[in-house]
Amino acid sequence: MKLYSLLQSIELLESWNERDVEIRGLAYNSKDVKPGDLFICIKGSKADGHDYIQQAIEKGAVAVIVEDYQEIDIPQFRVRDSRKVLANLSHNYYGRPSEKMKVIGITATNGKTSTSFMVNSILESYSIKTGLIGTVMVKYGGFIEPAILTTPESLDLQRHFAQMNRKGVSHVVMEVSSSALELNRVDEVDFDIVTLNNIGREHIDLHTSFEKYFEYKASL
């Protein structure tokens, strides 16, 4: 996919060293960069992707998305919120896969995992091809991968959706954490059904107040 075609769906604030290069993949972790990738710098609680741009370039990144200008020679594009941009670019790079399946999102303080397993089991009992994403694992077809996050980062999530779609999955059941909602991991996901099962006070420390916690949960 050509870079300019991919960037059409996002708002750019500034750009430098523009060239319409071929993009072979996306990456937000410099360790995962492959030749031809577009590297999206996201700021985390422990690390800032901007600090790893040089490593990404050395591994073959051909362009970068930044929030802050960098002294580099390859094309760079400044955006307001790189997490939102990561979700948007991932959705479009993989061909908007969630729009081609029925996606069920489940959020709650407690019981997300058990609810998702029950819903998935009910669908499978009707011979429906399903995908399951959550705290325990990501599963579809013959693929099973232990989960790192309850809700994967947006790029990983859209990649799983695309693979599910290729394997003929028609229904996806996924857990959606409040952190995923706050950090834009499920932006652009085309949910058909969402549930807010319950809300308690266990995870308030992650969101500063109960009101903020409820706001993120309810945003699904």
**pLDDT tens per residue across span 84-107:** 999 999 999 999 999 999 999 999
pTM of the model: 0.92
Q: Strand 171-175 vs strand 130-133: parallel, antiparallel, or unpaired?
A: parallel
Confidence at residue 204, expressed as pLDDT on a 0 to 100 scale = 59
How far, CA to CA in Å, does 209 sit from each of 184, 186, 200, 204? 19, 22, 12, 6
Reported confidence tier of residue 197, pLDDT bands at 50, 70, 90: confident
- What is the dotted CATH code of the domain comprising 3-93? 3.40.1390.10
Where is pLDDT greater, at 207 or 132?
A: 132
Q: Is the pLDDT of residue 217 over 80?
A: no
Poorest-pLDDT segment among 30-34, 36-40, 203-207: 203-207
Q: Is the pLDDT of residue 209 over 80?
A: no
Q: Compute the distance between CA of residue 4 and CA of residue 139 in angstroms, rounded to an integer.
A: 34
Q: Give 59's Cβ-side CA count (13 Å radius).
A: 19
Q: Are 6 and 92 in contact (CB under 8 A)?
A: yes
Confidence at residue 53, expressed as pLDDT on a 0 to 100 scale = 98
Q: Is the pLDDT of residue 110 over 90?
A: no
Reported confidence tier of residue 213, pLDDT bands at 50, 70, 90: low
Confidence at residue 22, expressed as pLDDT on a 0 to 100 scale = 97
Q: Where in the chain is the domain with CATH 3.40.1190.10?
A: 97-218
**Class at the top of the CATH hierarchy for domain 97-218:** alpha beta
Q: Compute the distance between CA of residue 48 and CA of residue 42 in angstroms, rounded to an integer.
A: 6
Q: Where in the chain is the domain with CATH 3.40.1390.10?
A: 3-93
SS3 (DSSP) at 4: helix
Q: Is the pLDDT of residue 113 over 60?
A: yes
